[in-house]
Amino acid sequence: MLPTDTMLTNQKCVAVGRLLPLALLVVLAACTPPGPRALLDGERLLNEGKFNEAIAPLTEATVLLPRNAQTWNHLGLANHNAGRPNEALRAYHKALDVDVNLAPARFNLGCLLIDMKQPAPAATQFAAFTALQPKVGDGWLKRGRAEMLARQFDAAEKSFKSALALNPKQPEVWNTLGIVQLHRTPARLADSFNAFNSAVQQQANYAPALFNAALLSHFYLPRKPVDQRPFALDKYKAFLAMNPAVENLDAIQRIVASLEAELSPKPPAPKLVPVPATNPPPALVVAPKPEVLPPPLPKPPPEIVVVPKKPEPAPAKPVQVASVAKVEPPAIVPVKPPPLPAPPQPAPAPAPPRIGDHVASGWTGPRYTYLTPDAPTPGTRADAQTHFAQGLAMQRNGKHSDALASYQRAIRADGAFFEAYHNLGIVAEQMGDLLKSTAAYETALALDPASASTRFNFALALQRGGFLRDAATELEKLLANTPDDASAHLALANLHSQNFKQPAKARAHYLRLLELRPQHAQATAIRFWLRENP
């Protein structure tokens, strides 16, 4: 497999904010109340690059202006650039609690999550940013980058193409698109080759694309009907002529020398010229010359082995009235068990845990902010039923926007229409609107807390949004009421094994799944995992 970071990229994620011009800040600071003055002082320090110094006035501003979302965003920006990621994370989340549509906070939070090695949640934030600011090309670029790192290659390709639709003269976007196309199933070598060449056409000295085009044409493109090695050698030399600062420069130079030797024409064999016969001199005994073997050629990079993507969950089907759809969880990936911990020391007996307290001990990912809505008031079900039927038809035809609008009309007609909320959650998630999806699921659960299908879909939505601990909590709640739900056991086992690194807890759920569904499609993979994790 060729990992994403083997080929060269040239992208950085830089947080943004709405900062006023410095001269204007100085004028305004002299005649403003304490709250705005603290905010202006903090913005001035941000403009000057004094991020540590900006934290104090911006913290004061959040105390005096707690409902000003931009104040929280600036505080996150200061902490982010000062190397305090946890404080920045809290500030960005607070900004979005105050204003869910604050686009700079979405962008900044996405950048922070990339820095924290959490590409899947970052992709969710950049998706929200591009929904709010679809004409900002950098949002699509960062979204595609996060999706690529999260191995969401189909989505990443769409995002990069959206960025190119806004501005096709971006060599870094063409280059990264080429890398993504190499990871598609099957690998699209021709498209990748064209993307790297497009990057070079936009900027002839763009080093990452020069190297990637050389690497692809040297090792991965077939030599018939056209031998691409001369092209590869030309791109390698152009890359090396730029004196690139890469760690494996020596290995690249050896590969180029080897390729030059392959392509150099061999000199013709010398012709023999007859010599007149003379009395031969006495024969000399000469010690045989030891055979000198040429040094071994450098090994080429490994061939691309495209690993099939994990099977995505089966798409959630629209529901009829009084029935709900259920999404199957993703397949498991076997992992090696961690080393056994040291024997526990005696300790006082703890209080009985609540649901969710023990599902992810030691895991410090982002947390979901629950809305906890009250059950809505019933309305006119007959009118709501008409809109619901229209939404169902639109959903079946893949017209998600129209379906979402119809379900919202059904809810306005009858606020207690459970099935409309449930289907609205499914459609919103399919459209990439995690916030609207989870809000709909929460309202549906307020109407019917015992709905296993809604709680399961809510858990999967939280998981896709990166709120893994909250997803596990919802699955625990589901199993507390429906202990024989095989899909919930599988999803919770996957979280424990793949994310929380708690094989003992994963094992219990996998064993229960095999008891309930011995012929499950993942049964073989599960039994392999159990054998590797005794």
pLDDT tens-digit profile of 130-154?
A: 999 999 999 999 999 999 999 999 9
- Residue 259 and residue 531: Cα distance in Å, rounded? 46
Looking at residues 59-83, what average pLDDT do you find? Answer: 92
Looking at residues 367-389, what average pLDDT do you find? Answer: 88
Looking at residues 478-485, what average pLDDT do you find? Answer: 92
- The answer on pLDDT for 351 being more than 60 is no
Say what the pTM is. Answer: 0.48
Q: Say which residues have a Cβ less than 8 Å from residue 243's Cβ, sequence separation at least 6.
A: none
- The answer on pLDDT for 473 being more than 90 is yes
Phi/psi region, residue 288 (left: phi>0; alpha: psi -120 to 50; beta: rest), is beta
In this structure, which amino acid lies at residue 236?
Y
**Confidence category of residue 348, pLDDT binned at 50, 70, 90:** very low
- Residue 246 and residue 6: Cα distance in Å, rounded? 11
In the chain, what are the domains? 1-134 (1.25.40.10), 168-263 (1.25.40.10), 310-331+366-446 (1.25.40.10)
pLDDT number for residue 532: 82
**Cβ–Cβ under 8 Å, residues 409 and 389:** no
Q: Say which residues have a Cβ less than 8 Å from residue 468's Cβ, sequence separation at least 6.
A: 360, 363, 365, 462, 495, 499, 500
Note if the bond before 244 is cis, omega within 30 degrees.
no
Closest by CA to 455, choosing from 496, 428, 491, 431, is: 491
Closest by CA to 315, choosing from 398, 387, 388, 394, is: 398
- Residue 114 and residue 105: Cα distance in Å, rounded? 14
Matching residue, tokens 């760690």? 247
pLDDT number for residue 393: 85
Helix (H) or strand (E) holding 229: helix 229-240
Lowest mean pLDDT among 84-93, 261-270, 364-373, 447-456: 261-270
Q: Record the tokens describing residue 12, joined without a space.
A: 């950085």
Lowest mean pLDDT among 34-38, 93-97, 356-360: 356-360
- The answer on pLDDT for 509 being more than 70 is yes
Lowest mean pLDDT among 179-193, 267-281, 327-341, 390-404: 327-341
